[in-house]
Amino acid sequence: MGRLNIDHDIDTSNLSLKGGDILVASPLLNDSNFKRSVVLILQRDRTGGYLGLVINHPLDISLAEICQLTDAGEDVRVFSGGPVDMQRLFWIHSLGSPLDGALEVLPGLWVGGDYDMMINRITSKDAIAGAARFFLGYSGWTAGQLEREIHAGAWGILSNLLDPVMLIQDNPDSLWDSLVRRLGPDYRHWLMLPPDPSLN
* Cα-trace Rg, the chain: 17
Instruction: Please tell me the distance from the alpha carbon of residue 48 to that of residue 6, in angstroms, as a whole number.
Output: 25
User: What integer is the mean pLDDT of 94-110?
Assistant: 88
pLDDT at 43 > cutoff 80: yes
Average pLDDT over residues 149-176: 92
Q: Where are the domains of the chain?
A: 22-187
pTM attached to this predicted model: 0.88
Determine the pLDDT at residue 193. Answer: 84
Flag whether pLDDT at 152 surpasses 60.
yes
- When pLDDT is averaged across residues 44-67 and rounded to a whole number, the result is 93
Whether the predicted pLDDT of 167 surpasses 80: yes
Mean pLDDT of 135-152: 95
What is the percent of the chain with per-residue pLDDT over 90, rounded to a whole number? 60
Question: Which residues have CB under 8 Å from 156's CB, separation 6+?
Answer: 23, 24, 26, 180, 183, 187, 190
Cβ(44)–Cβ(57) under 8 Å? Answer: no
> Could you tell me the pLDDT band of residue 162, with boundaries at 50, 70 and 90?
confident
CA distance 16 to 190: 24
Fold of 22-187: VC0467-like (3.40.1740)
Residue 25, by phi and psi: left (phi above 0), alpha (psi -120 to 50) or beta? beta
